[in-house]
Amino acid sequence: MAKSDKKKKAKSDKAREGGKAGGKAETKAKASAKGKAKAAKAAPAAKQVLVSPLAPAAFPDMPVIAGVEFASGAAGIKYQGRTDVMLVRLAPGTAIAGAFTRSSTRAACVLDCQDKLKGAQDTKAGAAIVVNSGNANAFTGAEGQRGVDAVTGAVAQALGVPARRVFSSSTGVIGEPLPAHKIVSIIGDLQSSLDAGGIAGAARAIMTTDTFPKGAAAEIAGEGGPIRIAGIAKGSGMIAPDMATMLVYLFTDATIAPKLLQRILSGLLDETFNAITVDSDTSTSDALILAATGKSPAAPIADLRSRVARDFAAALRGVMLNLAQQVVRDGEGATKFVEVRVTGAASTADAHKVAMAIANSPLVKTAIAGEDANWGRVVAAVGKSGAQADRDRLSIRFGDMVLAENGWRAPSYDEAATSAYMKGDSLVIGVDLGLGKGARTVWTCDLTHRYIDINADYRS
């Protein structure tokens, strides 16, 4: 073979080899792109959320609660690019109280918390709370408890607290195994970023279909110094009373024994978190945890009849009610905030039945969404409630306007004025049964097509 021919062959061979290498690189690049696309599909980017028109102007300024530190991070549990884990470290000496859903299909984390709060507490040890959004860890069998143990165990080891003093919550899709390894993998990062001022980030990390983070705070004068309370919550759908109707975390620097703390908390549930409804569906994962660090300079609260104890209970009630009403204002698809006041019932239990029958009625809620002054739907809800009622003693009000009384439409009824009232974004429906002294006020929202849009593709 001539020299020139040999050179041509060498160039040709080199080109072929280069083509093969290029082809391999291209194939590898395509495979990598496919892998990335597959990963992105497995953990999609967070959806853009439209903020509720009933949302507060901003997250409130929150006091620092001595003995509490917060951290939040992204584990990619359901979405990429979104914080979805909250970690709270509580100082030694912290007393814990709690309230949980009574659902018969409650999540593993709820059962675990209930077990840990049984009996006496070792308040000398520190404590922690870890919460994830995106997965409820509910209806996951024995694997659910293994997931809880993995997460709480990792937190206990990282923070140096007993595993029985680590309380977890999970919220999101039901029936899918908890990717505990994802949460465990960021515990170290969360530990290093714990911050006494990190409560706002923590409030965002626990959101699911919420459109805004929820916070509230209060302060009272104790004996020897101030006592502060701060709380955050998540909740938007699957909201109905059976404690706690959502996830709620309350913190105070008060010094108080666990049993007394639990008594105060339990006494405030019915008129706060058990007095709201969005859609009549109780979650499998509802939980409320109240932590009292004992770091206030004020004297301990030891007598629930004392002025300070009463002031503390009133302030705690205010924080709880504020958070509960924020959940209603963030009800999925809500455009109207509705207060239902029932008076004159034969008993408080009957008043509650009537109030919830009205608040949960799809016919009432859709009429409110359509700004239709259809008070007949309220009459129907009273009748179906199961409470004692007498047509001829019943009266119905929208705001200050009497619409029906004495078993008939009120003589002063004005359709135009009532219709104009329905255009407001905060409404009051009043019902007096005329039978006794039972009374109950509950809060709800309207039911719009947006609720269907959100829930029709919740898993996707």
Q: Is 7 left (phi over 0), alpha (psi -120 to 50) or beta?
A: alpha
2 vs 71: CA distance, rounded Å: 75
Q: Which of 181, 199, 191, 154 is nearest to 64 (CA)?
A: 199
Kindly give the pairing relationship between strand 438-445 and strand 95-100: unpaired
- Spatial CA neighbour of 70 closest among 252, 202, 225: 202
Q: What is the length of the chain?
A: 460
87: phi then psi, degrees, rounded to nearest 5: -125, 135
Q: What separation in angstroms does the CA of 88 have from each of 7, 183, 198, 256, 389?
A: 72, 14, 9, 20, 48
What is the gyration radius of the CA atoms in the chain, in angstroms? 28
CB 151 within 8 A of CB 129: no
Tell me the C-alpha distance between 276 and 324, whole Å. Answer: 7
Question: Which single residue is written with the structure tokens 């994802």?
Answer: 182
Active site residue ranges: 245
Cβ-contact 354, 274 below 8 angstroms: no
Q: Which DSSP helix (H) or strand (E) runs through 69? A: strand 68-73
Residue 342 and residue 440 in contact, taking contact as beta carbons nearer than 8 Å:
yes
47, 244, 366, 368, 384 from 377: Cα distances, Å: 36, 28, 10, 10, 11
Among 394, 332, 336, smallest CA distance to 365 is for: 336
Kind of pairing, strands 225-234 and 247-252?
antiparallel
Query: Contact, 368 vs 427, CB < 8 A?
Result: yes
